[in-house]
Chains A and B, each alone.
Chain A
């Protein structure tokens, strides 16, 4: 092979855009005398068909092996000219552009100076282009299936969309039932739809859809691979009930020795359940699960003369021998819809949540007003003789939102509206009650939200602008100390019930997925999207998308919209069946790599791993790039002390000549 490069340089006039300030004739004449330059031409519009034809013909007739186009920004036409090279049978990565328009003719007035600079830029491009290497644009096949982590409304919607498009979906949900937080709500704002009525059909669809494989009470253990080819490992936790046999009749729970003694998670601890339980009546799948932390037989090895559930179960579904099961499968794309947690109001001790029974959270009130809740929809505080029906009810907004003191500077976006909704439900159920809401600002930004806020105020709910400083007990009453900042006076407000509008925060276990998929977190701890505006459902990892509150606080309409967006992004991959991987990626010279692992730490995409190789009989550790994961940023290359990591088309030996030219040409 003749390794002396033959370079063609093409100087574009861009009409008068370049030619007016840059002496294009002089630049191409200068270029023609540079090392390895075979031809140098200038032409009115290089990007036009005849312009491109010029390059193609020279490649054929002059045997050019490298091309420099001195014209506009490569951000504009790099692809155009790459295609030109490819059409003429030259590797498209044998192209270098000199930006003599945006970076020269348009920003400098003096013709002499601009021409001198254009020459410099062309020389630097010539210096680099001769050292460029041919690159290959690889494609990988996409496994036609998707993994959805999280079975709340976001995961459910995404799963249904992808399944409807005809692709296989694996849904992994940590708890025994799908439904998520939405299933705990009574009504949804601002339409006051019954939450269960709109959600339950979708839950059932997920379980019954032939394309969806639902794994509840399961957890993602590990994910390896890359876009199009992820290997997923899921742990199906032992529920000690054979779900193929369980009919969901509930006889076991009635007989359980612990029936009515264990706080129900679904009812926020306000109701009680047995050790074998269905989280809530509409749970999907309607299969019972044994709580192994509580079950007498599983914790003590003994339950009376024998577990009563076994006796009660006519289907013979109880199986105390059941073990966790690991299942493995491949997917092409992943949607993370793991949702959120609620702020723990005990972290704001001045509100007395931990001390007083009649200080509750919004979600607790939600369970109280729900017909399916522990009180059958009656708003009753306390039990037995002490039970009261509150008359004076106060809501406090922004508990754990917009509050630097607890590390939550962001707005949770739903609390204003759910407070308004709950206030409405209270006035509806207790017409005599006086309801007020302490607030900082009311954010009613969604469709129909402002109207709902107006309606609630018309219904008699009072809005008091001020953040309570303290809540304490006086007799049977709670006293809220606050400043009404609009009236400019302090007040002590005696009430029967305080409802804290707790904000949304990232899940405590958010790190699990981060460690598995190398996702990033934004400052607030939620998963970071690839771009806040233009790629809000994408992540830095190709093929992995975000839906719902895992990415940040959202209401239900926004969650569903984002889930549909994530599903659509996933479907682009799935339906095209293959995905192109970057060509200008990094590569590691294993012969000089010392295996220090800097690049592994640095890589934002988890694209580099340390592997053991046999070097003349010795086992040594070196870094290796996974080409499908690398996005070609080059951060590894700059962090590698031995120069073993290099980014293709941006190698040290390709950049140093540019530096040399630009430094030397005064």
Chain B
């Protein structure tokens, strides 16, 4: 059954590095699985850790947060705050039994189209391994 399972993933990425890196993957025609969709924000610093909880509740089988490498943030410090916040959120999720394979964070720069592919593949494959995440999901779409 898990062989047929196609996970649904949501990614939150910053405009300046990872979104641009994903754009580069596109212009370079680098192929990767379609299971992950991106929500663009200006900076990883904008990504409220509660977004991750919300995405899991709304039906995502896994979540990715990605932004500029440390020191490269377009706004100088946003990714440092994000790193702290998601360190804690990851610990919390893991502790209540959400498999760590469902939440990832990565640094992907505007020049790392190839790395973006790897990150997407890792995220998708790990979500496949752990299967659907129905325990935490809402029963209906809510917006």
A interface list, Cβ under 8 A from B: 73-76, 99, 101-104, 106-110, 113-114, 116-117, 120-121, 124, 127, 520, 528, 540, 584, 602, 604-605, 631-635, 637-639, 647, 650, 652, 655-666
Stretch at the interface among B50-58, B90-98, B99-107, B123-131: B50-58
Tell me the complex Cα distance, A662–B19, Å. 17
User: In the assembled complex, which residues on chain A have CB atoms less than 8 Å from the CB atom of B20?
Assistant: 75
User: In the assembled complex, which residues on chain B have CB atoms less than 8 Å from the CB atom of A637?
Assistant: 46, 48
User: In the assembled complex, which residues on chain B have CB atoms less than 8 Å from the CB atom of A121?
Assistant: 37
Q: Is the CB of B81 within 8 A of A639?
A: yes
Measured CB to CB, the nearest residue on chain B to A117 is B34
Top 6 closest A-B pairs, CB basis? A102-B26, A634-B46, A663-B58, A635-B45, A633-B75, A663-B59
Q: Is the CB of B58 within 8 A of A664?
A: yes
Annotate B7-36 by CB proximity to A: 1 below 8 A, 0 otherwise: 010100001000110110111011111100
Grouping DSSP codes into helix (H, G, I), strand (E, B) and loop, the A interface class, with mixed when no group exceeds half, is helix
Distance in Å from the Cβ of B123 to the closest Cβ of chain A? 14
Q: Is the CB of B46 within 8 A of A633?
A: yes
Q: Is the CB of B8 within 8 A of A663?
A: yes
Measured CB to CB, the nearest residue on chain B to A115 is B34
User: In the assembled complex, which residues on chain B have CB atoms less than 8 Å from the CB atom of A102?
Assistant: 22-23, 25-27
Distance in Å from the Cβ of A383 to the closest Cβ of chain B? 50
> Does B60 touch A at the CB level, under 8 Å?
yes
Distance in Å from the Cβ of B90 to the closest Cβ of chain A? 15
User: In the assembled complex, which residues on chain B have CB atoms less than 8 Å from the CB atom of A106?
Assistant: 26-27, 29
Q: A633-B78, A652-B48 given as contacts; is B42 within 8 A of A666 (CB)?
A: no
Annotate B106-126 by CB proximity to A: 1 below 8 A, 0 otherwise: 000000000001000000000
Tell me the complex Cα distance, A655–B37, Å. 14
Interface centre among A108, A109, A584, A663 (most CB of B within 10 A): A663
Q: Which residue of B27, B31, B60, B143 contacts A656 across the interface (Cβ within 8 Å)?
A: B143
User: In the assembled complex, which residues on chain B have CB atoms less than 8 Å from the CB atom of A655?
Assistant: 39, 41, 51
User: In the assembled complex, which residues on chain B have CB atoms less than 8 Å from the CB atom of A114?
Assistant: 34
User: In the assembled complex, which residues on chain B have CB atoms less than 8 Å from the CB atom of A634?
Assistant: 41-43, 45-46, 78
Distance in Å from the Cβ of B59 to the closest Cβ of chain A? 4
Tell me the complex Cα distance, A603–B77, Å. 9
Measured CB to CB, the nearest residue on chain A to B24 is A102
Q: A633-B45, A638-B45, A650-B41 given as contacts; is B75 within 8 A of A107 (CB)?
A: no
Q: Is the CB of B55 within 8 A of A659?
A: yes
User: In the assembled complex, which residues on chain A have CB atoms less than 8 Å from the CB atom of B83?
Assistant: none
Q: Is the CB of A107 within 8 A of B29?
A: yes
> Does B38 touch A at the CB level, under 8 Å?
yes
Distance in Å from the Cβ of A80 to the closest Cβ of chain B? 16
User: In the assembled complex, which residues on chain A have CB atoms less than 8 Å from the CB atom of B10?
Assistant: 659, 662-663
Distance in Å from the Cβ of A6 to the closest Cβ of chain B? 19
Q: Is the CB of A638 within 8 A of B85?
A: yes
> Does B1 touch A at the CB level, under 8 Å?
no
Q: What are 8 pairs between A and B in contact, CB < 8 Å?
A: A106-B27, A107-B30, A633-B42, A633-B75, A634-B45, A656-B51, A663-B56, A666-B59
Tell me the complex Cα distance, A639–B19, Å. 22
Q: A101-B26, A638-B45 given as contacts; is B39 within 8 A of A659 (CB)?
A: yes
Q: A602-B81, A604-B75, A666-B8 given as contacts; is B46 within 8 A of A638 (CB)?
A: yes
Q: A633-B78, A638-B49, A657-B143 given as contacts; is B58 within 8 A of A103 (CB)?
A: no
User: In the assembled complex, which residues on chain B have CB atoms less than 8 Å from the CB atom of A662?
Assistant: 8, 10, 37, 39, 55, 58, 60
Distance in Å from the Cβ of B142 to the closest Cβ of chain A? 6
User: In the assembled complex, which residues on chain B have CB atoms less than 8 Å from the CB atom of A107?
Assistant: 25-26, 29-32, 34, 117
Distance in Å from the Cβ of A16 to the closest Cβ of chain B? 13
Q: Is the CB of B22 within 8 A of A120?
A: no
Tell me the complex Cα distance, A74–B81, Å. 25
